[in-house]
Each structure stands twice: as C-alpha cells, then as structure tokens.
Amino acid sequence: MNVAELLERAPDGDAVVLIDRSAAVPRHTTAAQMSDRVLRLGTGLLARGMEPSTRVGLLAANCGEYYDVMFGAPAAGLVFVPLNTRLPADSLSYILDDADVHTVIADAEHAPLVPPAVPSIVIGSAEWDALCSHEPLTAPAAVDDDDIAVHIYTSGSTGRPKGVLLTHRNITFTVLEYGAAMPGEVMLVSAPLYHKNASMSSKLAFASGGTVVLLPQFSAASYVEAIEQHRVTMCSGVPTMFALVTAEIAARAAAGHELPDLSSVQRAFIGSAPLTEALHDDVQRLLPQAVVSNGYGTTEAVLAFGPHPDGTPRPAISVGHQHPSVELRLVDPDTGADADAGELWVRSPGVMAGYHRLPEATAERLTDGWYHTGDLMTRDDDGWYYFVGRVDDMFVCAGENIYPDAVEQLLERHPAVHQAVVVPVPDELKGQLPAAFVRLAPGSTLTVEDVKQYALANGPAYAHPRYVWFIDEIPLASTAKIDRRGLIARAAELAPRRQRPPTPPRAPAAAS
C-alpha cells in the first residue's frame, strides 16, 4: 500500500481534513482538494526527471504545503526526506549528501539554508506554482511494500545523524493499526512536522477520517486558542509543550482572568519523551473529561503498545500494554536474558528496514527483526509497561546507577515544582553527581536546601541532587524535547569543581 493512499481513507471528499493556521487567515482544505494537490505535486516531481526512489528533501516550517510534499513524493514512488529546520549548516549539508537528495523544497524563510549546489524550489514561487500545475497522477505509483517511503534522520545525540529507512509497509501498518482506535478526531498539531510526533499524528488523523488543525509553531497561548476555536477533540505533543500549557492556564487563573473552555478535548496523547506523574495529573486536572495517555514510540519502530485486552484502565504513567500486532521483549542488558525489567526490544511490520549506509549500526540495533530500542522498562503483573530511562542517560554516582527520569518524577511530586530536569555533573570523587534544573509552579518559592531535603526524605540518598538551579524556562531542542545536552553543558559550567583529596603519604616501611 502506497503511503499516499492513506489520504483516500477519508470517508467524504468534501469533508475538511486540514485547517492551516500558518496563514493570516486559516485555510480550510477538503479531502478531495488535498488528494488533488498531492497527486499534482507527484506528477510535477516526475516531470523533473526523477526516477523511482529519488530522494526529495523538505526544509520548511509547519504549513499546509508540507503535506503536499510529505504525501506527494511517495505518491510518485519517490522518497520523502524531512529536514530539521534548526540544524546547523554542517549537519544539513551532511544529511543532503548522505541521502543523495536530488531536490530540496523549502519555504522562503529557510531557502537560504540550502547549499547552492543542491537544486531547490521555494514554496510560493513561480517554480513552485509550475510544479503544482501539472495534471494529477491517475493513481499513486505502484510500489512494493518494502520500498522506502521516508528517509528520516535521527537527532544525532551521539555522533552524526543516522538515516532511518522506513518502508511503505512500516508506515501504513503503523497508521492503520493506530488509526483504527481513533476515528474522526479533530487533531491539534503544533510540534514541527519534521518530527515523528507531529507527522504521525497528522497521518493518523487523515487516515481515520479526521481533521488536522495545524499551528505554524507551538506557543501555549496559540495552543489554547486553537482548542477553543476549533473544538479540538485530541491533543498531541511532547511533555514540555503540555507543561507550558498548564503553566499558561495557572498564570491566567492567578491573574484572575477568564479561563478557556477546553471541554471539547476527549484525548490527550503525550509522547516522544518521558512523562512524569505530576505532569500527567496537571494535564488531567486541566482536561478532566479527557483520557490522558503516556505515549511511546521511536523513529525506528513507532508502534509498540496499546490498551489492555481486558479493557483495564491504564495506570497514569504506563506507556501501555503490548499491542496485539507487535512482539515485545525486555532483555537484561548484562546477560541478554529475558526479564521483567530491561531494555525493550520490538518486532513488528512497523520496524525500520535499517540505517542508511550504516551496516554496523544496523547490526547493533536489529537482531532477527528485533529492534533494540535502548530504552529501559519494567513490566508489572498485569502486563503494563513503564519507562525507566535511556540506557545512554543512566549515569553512575559512587557505584550507584541513577536514572534521571526517576529523580525527575520524585522532584515533580513536590507541589511547588512545576518541572525538573536532572543531569550528571562530573566529579573527581564519585564520578558523576546528580544536578537538577527546577522550574517552580507560579507563585511558589523554594530554596535549594528545600529541594535537597525533599529528595532525601522521599528517595535514596545517593540520588538526591547535589546541585540545584532555579530557571524560568526549560530550554528545548529542535524536536521540542528538553535540550538535555545543553543543560548537561550548562551544569558543568555552573557546578564548582571538587578536587579529589590528596593521597595521604605512605607510612615508612618497617625496619627489618
């Protein structure tokens, strides 16, 4: 099944499937109009001499035209390459070269970032209009299920970004399995569309006959306004976005302003980064009639979890129960044996084909179709899974393993703590020490000692933060997740350097 055929699942061609708020006046697009635009773009790309599997890049902020390319390239049998608009120039050049991108489509703001040697088309230009003016394809190109549809790059937290190869089977399997449980949603999308959370949410809404309300970028005020104006039924985003929304509402309440009507929201899906119990409860209070879910997925294997087969309500911060169409294992990282706590492995038709031109990395992450996620999880007696932390994020303090997510969960249970991020600080005595950046709830006050004593009273002593810094905003990386790497660097600068005590002199040898 071609990825573009997901659009054809809309039950009514005259139904509005997209409300694009990137324009001064929101633009409404019906299912028939979007399908026509996608197929015209597909024809236009082929008219430029592109052969099957040619890579087409897209460097743009959120806009309705983004979907034309996202679906139009696969409709023509080409490969869609979403590009992070916040990448430094050297990383962007590396990706364009590594993926052999034939042409980059860019919006006017980001077009200057495209290297001169790479052909480009600017959205809204005469060249763009000509590209979209061709007769539409009579149908999406015939493709094999194992043909590559999307070539997307990871954030490159360690080393160079890796190109993840997703087939038509990978994407359509995931969308159809997920979308079956969410027909007709009015979905609010505000995270960058080059990010998995936003692109997958959009595909789910389109394929299930729903409507996407698209914001050009996230802000708490515009997010709340869009919910009210369009009676949004489902919100999707990363935890930091929801933390900012709850803070916005709390600030309005503290100022005595009228609170927005968010009663239309029936589901809030929070994913792409760990969710704390405190934030879950904050969102649930904000949206009391909504089912608030802790989502989980990776670029390499989006679908892993679902509801309990017996209909048992999901515990607040569980990522879910094993999906019936997916195989899961928890593997002890030290022994390689199956366990009830360990690294999550996933096997399903949704697992990537591999990493582009990286056979060693592919072999490290794929074993007989099992994808090694690098995420540590536990499973309770009812089959619910819980995120513990990243294998890479875990650090050691005086021989004790510390998982930042667990300490963040602990700190955010304090009523005055709105958000906390825990990172390691190098230490010559104990190797690494936990440090915390804390954002307080509106109108709250705490001292550094208050935070430390709360952690000591409610958790293991070795895990309490030795350094605490209060900040007004938690910085975000380009994917709208917490900029953990930036905070690690900042903590290293802020923390006083502790020197190892001098080694005592050896006692003189006894006279023989």
In tens, the pLDDT along 400-419 reads: 878 898 899 899 999 999 99
* Residue 506 in this model has a pLDDT that exceeds 60: no
> Reduced to 3 states, what is the DSSP secondary structure of residue 222?
helix
223-271 residue pLDDT tens: 999 999 999 999 988 888 898 899 899 889 988 999 999 999 999 988 8
* Residue 359 in this model has a pLDDT that exceeds 60: yes
pLDDT for the residue 512: 38
Q: How far is CA 291 from the centre of its chain?
A: 20
Higher pLDDT, 171 or 158: 171
Radius of gyration of the chain (CA): 24
pLDDT band at 277 (very low <50, low <70, confident <90, very high): confident
DSSP string, 51-98: PTT-EEEEE--S-HHHHHHHHHHHHTT-EEEE--TT--HHHHHHHHHH
Q: Which amino acid is at 67?
A: Y
DSSP string, 386-429: EEEEETTT-EEETTEEE-HHHHHHHHTTSTTEEEEEEEEEEETT
pLDDT for the residue 478: 65
pLDDT for the residue 358: 96
436-470 residue pLDDT tens: 999 999 889 999 999 999 999 998 888 999 999 99
Q: Where are the domains of the chain?
A: 3-326+347-355, 395-494
82-116 residue pLDDT tens: 999 988 899 999 999 999 999 999 999 999 999 99
* Residue 500 in this model has a pLDDT that exceeds 50: no
Q: What is the DSSP letter of 484?
A: H
* Residue 501 in this model has a pLDDT that exceeds 80: no
Higher pLDDT, 158 or 194: 194
Retrieve residue 232's tokens.
Answer: 């949004």
pLDDT for the residue 137: 95
Please state the φ and ψ torsions of residue 488, each to the nearest 5 degrees: -60, -45
pLDDT band at 160 (very low <50, low <70, confident <90, very high): confident
> Reduced to 3 states, what is the DSSP secondary structure of residue 17?
strand
Give the position of tokens 């998995």: 196
pLDDT for the residue 477: 75
pLDDT band at 292 (very low <50, low <70, confident <90, very high): very high
CA proximity to 440, closest of 467, 419, 469? 419
pLDDT band at 149 (very low <50, low <70, confident <90, very high): very high
pLDDT for the residue 498: 55
Q: What is the DSSP letter of 217?
A: S
Give the position of tokens 């706590």: 341
5-21 residue pLDDT tens: 998 877 788 999 999 99
pLDDT for the residue 435: 96
pLDDT band at 511 (very low <50, low <70, confident <90, very high): very low
pLDDT for the residue 356: 98
Its CATH class, for the domain covering 3-326+347-355, is alpha beta
pLDDT for the residue 159: 65
Q: Looking at domain 395-494, what is its CATH homologous superfamily?
A: ANL, C-terminal domain (3.30.300.30)
Q: Would you say the pTM of this structure is higher than 0.95?
A: no
pLDDT for the residue 503: 46
Q: Average of pLDDT values for 497-511?
A: 50
pLDDT band at 497 (very low <50, low <70, confident <90, very high): low
* Residue 142 in this model has a pLDDT that exceeds 90: yes
182-204 residue pLDDT tens: 778 999 999 999 988 899 999 99
Range with the poorest average pLDDT among 64-78, 239-253, 254-268, 315-329: 239-253
11, 179, 255, 429, 506 from 509: Cα distances, Å = 90, 77, 75, 28, 9
pLDDT for the residue 334: 79
Residue 473 neighbours by CB under 8 Å, 6+ apart: 439
CA-based torsion, 469, 472, 477, 479: positive or negative:
positive
- The proportion of the chain whose per-residue pLDDT surpasses 90, expressed as a percent, equals 70
* Residue 397 in this model has a pLDDT that exceeds 90: no
Range with the poorest average pLDDT among 31-40, 58-67, 176-185: 176-185
Q: Residue ranges of the alpha helices (H) in 231-313?
A: 239-254, 277-286
C-alpha span between 70 and 25 (Å, rounded): 23
Contact 345, 364 (CB under 8 A): no
Residue 53 neighbours by CB under 8 Å, 6+ apart: 77, 78, 79, 147, 148
C-alpha span between 512 and 509 (Å, rounded): 9
pLDDT band at 345 (very low <50, low <70, confident <90, very high): very high
* Residue 510 in this model has a pLDDT that exceeds 80: no
pLDDT for the residue 9: 79
* Residue 508 in this model has a pLDDT that exceeds 60: no
* Residue 156 in this model has a pLDDT that exceeds 80: no
pLDDT for the residue 509: 47
Contact 164, 357 (CB under 8 A): no
List, in sequence order, every residue forming a beta bridge with 105; answer none if it has no partner: 58, 121
Q: Average of pLDDT values for 34-40?
A: 96
Q: Average pLDDT over the chain, rounded to whole?
A: 91
